[in-house]
Amino acid sequence: MRANQLEEYYTFLRFPSISTDRDYADKVAECAHWLVEKLSGIGLETKLVPTPGHPVVWARNEHRSNRRTVMIYGHYDVQPPDPLDLWESPPFEPVLKNGYVFARGATDNKGQIISHIFGIQEALERDGDLPVNVDLVIEGEEEIGSSNLGNFLSQNREALKCDVVVVSDTGMIAPGTPTISYALRGVAALELKVTGPKIDLHSGIYGGAVANPLAAMAKLLASLHDSDGRVAVAGFYDDVKPLEDWEREMWHKLPVDGDAVVLGESGSPELFGEKGYTTLERIWARPTAEINGMGGGYQGQGTKTVLPSYAAAKLTFRLVPNQDGKKVVDLARKHLEKQRPPGVTLEMTSGHAGPWYFTDPHSKFGEAAQRALRKAFDKETALIREGGSIPIVSQFRDILGVETLLIGLALSDCRAHSPNENFPLENLDAGIRMNQAVLQEVSAMS
């Protein structure tokens, strides 16, 4: 790897491009502008496309009608770095330790997308051209649901016509093992607010005579699962496509011990989940209901004898084929309304949603990607599903009519969304090779 590549990667990482926090909107924009400069600097025609939210960066080489077109998609926004005190070095001051770069976004998705940019840059410098037409679409709202990117795709449908989309925002099953993810889970968000008294009350003067919203919320949340870890919302599993034997068998042969990895990386005292499924099957092929946060009452130091006025909670559901996000949220609303304890009101607000994705890893593009990965890694490709979500991928199919190759570079210990996120320089290099091999293989396909 060249020294200036590391410097540029660091510069990219120094922007705190936290999309969810309005206070950082200027930093998100600065990051987008930096990308525009970088991409035009390597010879691509580059535009900053404003949206009602954060801008999209769109770059392309000169398109010729006699060759294929590949769209490379990624995101320059990152998750908030909190909790800050658990970082061993500041999240937006990248450092290199034992071959790993530590910073928020080091993997997800700045490290992964910049390896594509470097791959393109090197090929252009070496060959003066790329083997295919390329559109790079790098957005600033992936971590908040990509709600403005669908419009961007619709408005530029003709110009964005392509043969396939390439995304490196997913995982690698093990270091050095190239991985194609042929499915993503979807996601749908729902916020709850349970309200009792109009203000926080003295729990001695009122306790026992009016309902406690936090107790009511605890009951509501506890009603979401049975004791075996299955979601207890009526109808929740109705549309779930059962896992097929070929997938089960294929995953059994993967060179990874899912239990050990998940137990080790999570640090949980033991594994827990729906009966009848392995750890990887639970994550990749089964839907969930997660409580992402809850609050209310007194949370400061010491004690306070208070009966809180309200309790709040944030939920997200992970969705699998063939569930419909809106239907799942409606079922959850009905369930929660039915379970609402007496003495409180319940308000529910739906949040962002993104559908699941499932594609054929043995399509002609899937096979081309496997050949490219074999070239770049000198190893057979693992075919997996993902537990995470990339909301726009299903719209590449719906709006542009194309499939997506998910060839990720995130390791299981990369700490995406957690403190001390990191990315090995080895994967930055692998990403550069992978980018060039994929563009080559797609151009050479019959």
Give the footprint of Mn ion on this chain (CB under 5 A).
Answer: 108-109, 169
Q: Under DSSP, is residue 288 helix (H, G, I), strand (E, B) or coil?
A: strand
Q: What part of residues 66-125 is at the interface with ligand BES (CB under 6 A)?
A: 108-109
Q: Which amino acid is at 225?
A: H
Residues binding ligand BES: number (CB under 6 A): 16
- Taking a C-beta distance cutoff of 8 angstroms, is the pair 41, 66 a contact? no
Long-range contacts of 91-99 (CB under 8 A, 24+ apart): 91/16, 91/419, 91/421, 92/13, 92/14, 92/15, 92/16, 93/14, 94/9, 94/10, 94/13, 94/14, 96/6, 96/425, 99/424, 99/425, 99/426
From the list ligand BES, Mn ion, none, which binds 139 (C-beta under 5 to 8 Å, kind-based)?
Answer: none
Instruction: Give the nearer residue to ligand BES in terms of CB position, either 393 or 439.
Output: 393
Kindly report the number of other CB atoms within 10 A of residue 276's CB atom: 11
Separation CA 64–CA 66 (nearest Å): 6
Residue 46 φ/ψ, nearest 5 degrees = -125, 140
- Taking a C-beta distance cutoff of 8 angstroms, is the pair 120, 97 a contact? no
Based on the shown chain and the rule CB under 6 A, indicate whether residue 135 belongs to the binding site for ligand BES. Answer: no
Record the tokens describing residue 284, joined without a space.
């990749």
Stretch that binds ligand BES, among 218-226, 240-248, 307-315, 381-389 (CB under 6 A): 381-389
Binding ligand BES by CB under 6 A: which of 8, 141, 281, 386?
A: 386
- Taking a C-beta distance cutoff of 8 angstroms, is the pair 344, 356 a contact? no
What mask, x for binding ligand BES by CB under 6 A, covers residues 234 to 273? Answer: ----------------------------------------
Based on the shown chain and the rule CB under 6 A, indicate whether residue 28 belongs to the binding site for ligand BES. Answer: no
What mask, x for binding ligand BES by CB under 6 A, covers residues 334 to 363? Answer: ------------------x-x---------
Binding ligand BES by CB under 6 A: which of 139, 142, 281, 441?
A: 142
Based on the shown chain and the rule CB under 6 A, indicate whether residue 391 belongs to the binding site for ligand BES. Answer: yes
- To the nearest whole angstrom, how small is the minimum distance from the Cβ of residue 169 to Mn ion? 4
Which residues bind to ligand BES, rule: CB under 6 A?
Answer: 108-109, 142-143, 145, 169-171, 187, 352, 354, 386, 388-391
